[in-house]
Amino acid sequence: MDVLDKYKKAWVNQPEDNKQLTSKEIYKLAHSSSSSLVKWIFIIGILEFIFWGVINFLVPDSFYKIYEDLNLETFLQVFTVFHYIILIAFLYLFYQNYTNISLVDNTKKLIKKILKVRKTVNYYVYYNLAIIVLVSFVINAKIFSNPEKHLDIINPDNLAMDLSQIVTISIISQIIAVIVILVLFWLFYKLIYGIFLRKLNKNYKELSKLDESN
Amino acid sequence: MQKDLEEKFLSDFEKNQNIAHKICRVYTTNQNAHNDLFQEITIQLWKNYPKFRGDSKFSTWMYRVALNTAISLYRKSTRRVKTQDISDVAYKISSTPYDDTEEAQLKALYKAIHKLNDIDKALIFLYLEDKPYKEISEALGITSVNARVKMNRAKEKLKNILNP
User: For B39-50, how does the pLDDT look when each residue is reduced to its tens digit (9 = 90+)?
Assistant: 999 999 999 999
Does the structure show a pLDDT above 50 at B74?
A: yes
Nearest CB to B94 within list A18, A30, A104: A18
Share of chain A above pLDDT 90, in %: 39
Does the structure show a pLDDT above 70 at B81?
A: no
Residues of A in contact with B130 (CB under 8 A): 12
How much is the pLDDT for B99?
63
More confident residue, A138 or B81: A138
Lowest-pLDDT choice from A95-99, B72-76, B156-160:
B72-76
Does the structure show a pLDDT above 80 at A59?
A: no
Nearest CB to B155 within list A4, A111, A114: A4
A36 near B CB under 8 A: yes
Q: How many residues does chain B have?
A: 164
Lowest-pLDDT choice from A29-33, A36-40, A79-83, B11-15:
A79-83
Q: Residue A182 falls within a domain, yes or no?
A: yes
Distance (Å) of CA A203 to CA A20, A102, A145, A200, B140 = 31, 17, 52, 5, 11
Please report how the helices B31-48 and A23-30 are oriented relative to each other, as an axis angle in degrees rounded to 10.
80
Q: Looking at domain B99-164, which CATH architecture does it have?
A: Orthogonal Bundle (1.10)
Q: Residue A28 falls within a domain, yes or no?
A: no
| pLDDT tens sequence across A67-96 | 887 888 888 888 889 988 999 999 999 999
A:183-212 residues touching chain B, CB 8 A cutoff: 195-196, 199-200, 202-203, 206-207, 210-211
Mean pLDDT of chain B: 87
Mean pLDDT of chain A: 86
Nearest CB to A107 within list B38, B74, B141: B141
How much is the pLDDT for B77?
61
Residues of chain B with CATH 1.10.1740.10: 1-76
How much is the pLDDT for B90?
41
Residues of B in contact with A103 (CB under 8 A): 44, 47-48, 64-65, 68-69, 73
Residues of chain B with CATH 1.10.10.10: 99-164
Q: Residue A45 falls within a domain, yes or no?
A: yes
Nearest CB to A207 within list B48, B140, B159: B140
Q: Could you tell me which CATH class the domain B1-76 is placed in?
A: mainly alpha
pTM here is 0.85
B125 near A CB under 8 A: no
Give the whole-angstrom CA distance, residue B104 versus residue B75.
29
Strongest mean pLDDT among A120-124, A178-182, B100-104: A120-124
Domain that holds residue A177: 36-208
B2 near A CB under 8 A: no
Nearest CB to A8 within list B18, B61, B128: B128
More confident residue, B100 or A184: A184
How much is the pLDDT for A214?
52
Does the structure show a pLDDT above 70 at B82?
A: no
Does the structure show a pLDDT above 50 at B161?
A: yes
Q: Residue A21 falls within a domain, yes or no?
A: no
Provide the domain count of chain A: 1
Share of chain A above pLDDT 70, in %: 92
A:84-123 residues touching chain B, CB 8 A cutoff: 102-111, 114
The total of other beta-carbon atoms located within 10 Å of residue A7's CB is: 23
Distance (Å) of CA A72 to CA A32, A69, A145 = 53, 8, 14
Q: For testing the chain B interface, which of A17, A118, A200 should be mutated: the one with the most B CBs within 10 Å?
A: A17
Give the whole-angstrom CA distance, residue A34 versus residue B7.
21
The total of other beta-carbon atoms located within 10 Å of residue A71's CB is: 9
B:78-97 residues touching chain A, CB 8 A cutoff: 92-96
Q: Residue A59 falls within a domain, yes or no?
A: yes
Give the whole-angstrom CA distance, residue A172 versus residue A161.
15
Q: Are A42 and A112 in contact (CB under 8 A)?
A: no
Instruction: Report the pLDDT averaged over residues B27-50.
Output: 94
CB contact under 8 A, A26 and B122: no
